[in-house]
Amino acid sequence: MKLWRFVLKNALRNKRRTILTVISLAISLFIVNTLISVVRGFDGTDPTGPARFRLITRHKVSLTNPLPESYWEKIKQVPHVESVTPWSWFGGVYKDSSWENQFARFSVDPETYFRIVQGEVTIPEDQKKAWIEDRRGAITGKSLAAKQHWKIGDTISIKGDIYPVTLDLVLRGIFTANKSDDEQNLLFHHMYVEELTGRKGVVGTYWMRIDSPENSTTVASTIDRMTENSDAETLTETENQFLADFISMMGNIKGLIGAIGLCVGVVILMLAANTMAMAVRERTTEVAVMKAIGFSPGKILGIVVGESVAIGLISLVIACGMGFLIYNVMDFRLPGLWTPMFLTPATLLMAAAIAIGISLISGFIPGWSAARMGVVEGLRKVA
Amino acid sequence: MAIPFKVNLRGLLVRKVSTLSTVVCLALVVAVFSTMMALAAGLAHTFKISGDPLNVMVMRDGSTSEINSGVTMDQYQILTALPGAAKDAQGKSNVTGEIVLVINQNKRGHDKGANIILRGVTQQAFAVHPEIKIVEGRAFTPGQSELIASRSISRKFQGCGLGETLTLRKRQFKVVGIFEAGGTSKDSEILGDVDELSDAFDRKGYFSTVFIRAADPSAVALIQSGIKGDQRLSLKAIRETEYFAEQTQQAGFIIAAGLFLAVILAVGAGFGAANTMYAAVSARSKEIGTLRAIGFSRIAILIAYMGEALVLGALGGIVGILITYFAMNGVNTGTINWQSFSEVSFAFRVTPILAVIAIAFASVIGALGGLLPATLAARARITQALRQI
């Protein structure tokens, strides 16, 4: 459309106002992006991703109740289960309880661990072997190792709180994961913890890989039926469901984020509408002239809405650029939030829908009054 | 001489739409900020008042929460005989051995559960935790499968209301009373007889925590040193207030997230405020020129427009904090206590300090947004400003 140039020129007429508006919209849209990514992070991993091959068995009552080690053999026998490892939260304190020293520590069975995360976690073969062979050995993800400045061969001491023992670990390997949020763990031998605690034969949860996602319900119900009426009844869920449950324990976070998102949305609407109202008010005479020389009300409306959408789109591009740089490139996370905040195409699409929707509304209100304005009246008004 | 402030207040009223939208923007930013802070304040408050300065908590050395602690019966016997504890009318020490269990119970109207703390207590517990007050029904009878639930738990969870029955490890426990505990962490718990519960959960032979209530504030240290000095006990004795102070750190995350959102949104709203003020200044350039011509100084103009921006900000702040106050203050919510992996309920708290901070915060955003437009106004050349139509 020929009028595009006109619309852009209009947008740039008051550069200062446009720039201020674009910055404020971009920042608000950036927050929208952030909120969407947090919610998406909480929604668990990609439902089509490799996580759907994995199930977690925990004590039915709560995560704090341990399961007997004897279940390991039992779960191994269940049809469709390919491999299963104990996966126990160790907790404990590394150095002190400050935020930078908070990271997840789990005890696992090293050999089965690699079978469960196959295709997602890579580690040099010699490091893998060194870890499997060293009972005091530990491995960690690249991103956590970098944060803690750990090198292979370093000793890491974790003072237990749930268990009254201190782990003296030696870092034997550093793995890389497809997603850096999977690189935040410190993993060590289940048997080492068992030895220190005096062979109690307890496991936090069991983590398993199944042959096909379609069998997840069957496997889950087989395991849970097997433990029914025992002292430790279990609840088996897919990894995604497990994470979702975990998040829901923190309270109605989604509700809170939704409310914040709504506030931010209204802020964006107010900012954009204010600017467009100012812009149209300034041009009252001009709009009247345009109408006098034959511009139809529809065109006038289109021009105003077009300008609003143009400003919205520029802001959107900046907001997404900011988000991409901060979350995807720099991998910034809020302290204490373990979920990644990467922007995905779905997030960007949603932000775009919000930006365009709000631009349309904020352009429509002043545009509509401009389109309906009487020519004589408009020409008489002195801006 | 200063410009009468009325001039600027009138100015705000002339551009109603613009003023209104800026105030709404600032108000919403303040509402987001103060809601997060009210959440953090509510959580911190619950933990803060939960600690009784007279109570000493005895746990296994090295454990960080009641959940992973254990005190044997032998140790408990020694603890009951320690000097410094308050005594009841019968001369019994105010010492209670308690067992802390976590159960997963479905919330009302959901098929998803959350964890609740189930605390087995002795009769002494009511003396050690005087904040617990039965408000409906009666206390549980020792030796019976009976429980009392806090008001908030009874409302939120299935099977926890008065007269309802909870199945725990295949045993039926009846809820015979509802208690309130003054907004402390006990308000997120269910209590029952320690012997019955440890029997049901197969946890006989030890307590999670032993609480000792000191006779007076000076006796607290005496109790602590008594435990530390006893070779037979490898237990740690901390003040209940200290224990909860540590849990308060949890609110830190909410504060961090709230500040993160607030600061970024404030920048956005600040630019919005700047836009409004620029429009105000440019619409009144002739007026500014006139004021300068009749002798008002540049400083007077700067102050007047900064003042206008400040009012804009403060208005936003006041509206924002009012939104939060009326929508959120006192609203009950719950989150997980990472120490015990169970539900802790608390209420949003809009404190006077928070209100002052929120209004000041919005005023600062307004003032920063108004700084450049006000400078522009102050620097206007008289002749040019007057020549403008």
Task: Give the A:B interface size as CB pairs under 8 Å.
Answer: 152
User: Are A26 and A102 found together in one domain?
Assistant: no
Q: Flag if B268 and A159 touch (Cβ within 8 Å).
A: no
Say how many C-beta atoms besides its own lie within 10 A of residue B88's C-beta: 12
Same domain, A106 and A27: no
| Residue indicated by tokens 């607030």 | B262
Contact B100, B340 (CB under 8 A): yes
Lowest mean pLDDT among A5-14, B125-134, B210-219: A5-14
CB proximity B89 to A under 8 Å: no
Q: Which amino acid is at B201?
A: F
Check whether residue A75 and residue A32 sit in a common domain. no
pLDDT above 50 for A140: yes
Q: What's the pLDDT score for residue B283?
A: 80
Contact B264 A334 (CB under 8 A): no
Whether residue A30 and residue B264 make contact (CB cut-off 8 A), yes or no, is yes
Q: Within a domain: residue A207?
A: yes
Give the angle A107-A111-A113 at the CA atoms, nearest 5°.
Answer: 55
Q: What pLDDT does A189 receive? A: 95
Q: Is A160 on the interface with B (CB under 8 A)?
A: yes
Q: Is residue A50 one of the residues assigned to a domain?
A: no
Residues A204 and A73 in one domain: yes
Residue of B nearest to A231 (CA): B169
pLDDT higher at B342 or A297: A297
- Closest approach of A239 to chain B, Cα-based (Å): 16
Asked if residue A275 and residue A356 are part of one domain, the reply reads yes
Confidence at residue A372, expressed as pLDDT on a 0 to 100 scale? 86
- Inter-chain contact B62–A161, Cβ cutoff 8 Å? yes
Residue A81, pLDDT score: 93
What average pLDDT score do residues B358-377 get? 91
Domain match, A196 and A74 both: yes
Q: What is the pLDDT of residue A97?
A: 72
Residue to mutate among B19, B24, B25, B238, with most A CBs inside 10 A, is B25
Torsion, Cα A118 A123 A127 A132, to 10 degrees, reads: -20
* A23 CA: distance to closest CA in chain B (Å): 7
What pLDDT sits at residue A335? 62
In a domain, residue A164? The reply is yes
**A214-235: pLDDT as tens digits:** 999 999 999 999 988 787 889 8
**E-assigned strand segments in chain A:** 54-59, 67-68, 81-89, 93-94, 104-108, 121-122, 137-141, 155-159, 166-177, 185-189, 202-203, 205-210, 234-238
Q: How far apart are the first and last CA of chain A?
A: 29
Over pLDDT 70: what percentage of chain A? 95
The identity of residue A102, as a single letter, is Q
Give residue-wise pLDDT tens across range B161-175: 999 999 888 899 999
Residue B32 in contact with partner chain A when CB distance is under 8 A: yes
Residue-number span of the structural domain to which A124 is assigned: 68-211
CB B152 within 8 A of CB B332: yes
A274 in B contact zone (CB under 8 Å): yes
pLDDT in the model for residue A373? 82
pLDDT of B115:
81
Nearest residue of A to residue B257, measured between CA atoms: A334
Q: What percent of chain B shows pLDDT beyond 70? A: 99
Distance from the Cα of residue A168 to its chain's centroid: 33
Contact between chains at A267 and B104 (C-beta distance less than 8 A) = no
Q: Which residues in chain B are contacts of A99 at CB distance < 8 A?
A: 252
Query: Do the chains contact at A278 and B275, CB–CB below 8 Å?
Result: yes
CB within 8 Å: A62 and B279: no
Q: Round the average pLDDT of chain A to a whole number and report it.
A: 86
- How far is A127 from A355, CA to CA, in rounded Å? 49
Q: What is the pLDDT of residue A233?
A: 84
ipTM more than 0.95? no
Break chain B into its structural domains and give their ranges: 5-48+249-387, 62-233
Query: Hey, is the C-beta of A335 within 8 angstroms of any chain B C-beta?
Result: yes
- Given CB atoms, is B29 within the 8 Å cutoff of chain A? yes
What pLDDT, on a 0 to 100 scale, did the predictor assign at position B64? 73
Q: A20 and B278 in contact by Cβ < 8 A? A: yes
pTM for this model (two decimals): 0.80
Contact across the interface for B264 and A17, Cβ inside 8 Å: no
> Does one domain contain both A174 and A142?
yes
Query: Is A255 at the interface with chain B, CB within 8 A?
Result: no
Q: How many domains does chain A have?
A: 2
Claim to verify: residue A72 and residue A207 sit in the same structural domain: yes
Q: What is the pLDDT of residues B68-77, one digit of tens each?
A: 788 999 999 9
The answer to the question of residue A242 being in a domain is no
Q: Does A279 lie in the same domain as A194?
A: no
A303 with A171, same domain: the answer is no
Q: Is residue A383 predicted with pLDDT exceeding 50?
A: no
Angle at B65 between CA B166 and CA A62, to 5 degrees: 40
Residues 6+ apart with CB under 8 A from A184: A103, A104, A141, A143, A144, A338
Phi first, then psi: what are they for B105, rounded to 5°?
Answer: -130, 145
Minimal Cβ distance to A336: which of B22, B24, B256: B256
pLDDT > 70? residue A195? yes
Question: What part of B 274-303 touches A (C-beta under 8 Å)?
Answer: 274-276, 278-279
**What pLDDT, on a 0 to 100 scale, did the predictor assign at position B104?**
81
Chain A residues close to B35, C-beta within 8 Å: 256, 259-260
Is the Cβ of B111 closer than 8 Å to some Cβ of chain A?
no
Residue B65 touches chain A, beta carbons under 8 Å: yes
Task: Please state which of the ranges A261-275, B165-179, B307-321 shows the lowest mean pLDDT.
Answer: A261-275
- A149 with A268, same domain: the answer is no
Does the structure show a pLDDT above 90 at A152? yes
For residue B155, the model assigns a pLDDT of 92
Please identify among residues 113-152 of chain A the ones whose CB lies closer than 8 Å to any CB of chain B: none
**CB atoms inside a 10 Å sphere around CB B73:** 11
Higher pLDDT, A282 or B207: B207
Give the model confidence (pLDDT) of B249-300 as tens digits: 777 778 888 888 888 888 888 888 888 888 888 888 888 888 888 888 889 8
Q: CB-based contact (8 Å) between A97 and chain B?
A: yes
Asked whether residue A183 falls in the same domain as residue A307, the answer is no
Residue A247 lies in a domain: no
CA pair distance B171, B192, nearest whole angstrom: 13
Q: Is pLDDT at A338 greater than 70 in this prediction?
A: no
Residue B317 and residue B356 in contact, taking contact as beta carbons nearer than 8 Å: no
Look at B268 and A21 and tell me if their CB atoms are within 8 Å: no
- Whether residue B39 lies within 8 A of chain A, CB to CB, comes out as yes
